[in-house]
Amino acid sequence: MFVSRTLLPKLPFILFFLVVLGISFYTVGDYGISVDEPTQHRHLKITGRKIMETFGLMEYAPETIAEAEKSEI
């Protein structure tokens, strides 16, 4: 027999994770910087500024948040 008796019960799990690993390597090229990332970054800074202003913490805000445009809400 090619497979030992202690490895045989573990074989389905090993095969499952090898398949998942193979799929992961195949699809990893699909992930990257999204098209709307600059918009999301701008939105995050505006939201951060609004939160800091609401709680009166603007003096402690990082430069990027302090320099963000003000929210109209």
Backbone angles phi, psi at 2, to 5 degrees: -80, -30
Domain hosting 42: range is: 37-66
In a domain, 10, yes or no: no
Q: What is the pLDDT of residues 27-63, one digit of tens each?
A: 877 666 677 888 999 999 999 999 999 999 999 999 9
In a domain, 61, yes or no: yes
pLDDT value, residue 32: 67
Q: Output the DSSP codes for 4-45.
A: -TTTGGGHHHHHHHHHHHHHHHHHGGG-S--TTHHHHHHHHH
Q: What is the pLDDT of residues 18-32, one digit of tens each?
A: 999 999 888 877 666
In a domain, 49, yes or no: yes
- Sign of the Cα torsion 31, 36, 39, 43 reads negative
Number of domains observed in the structure of the chain:
1
In a domain, 5, yes or no: no
Residue 59's CB is within 10 A of a number of other CB atoms, namely 7
In a domain, 26, yes or no: no
Q: Which two tokens stand for residue 11?
A: 């074989």
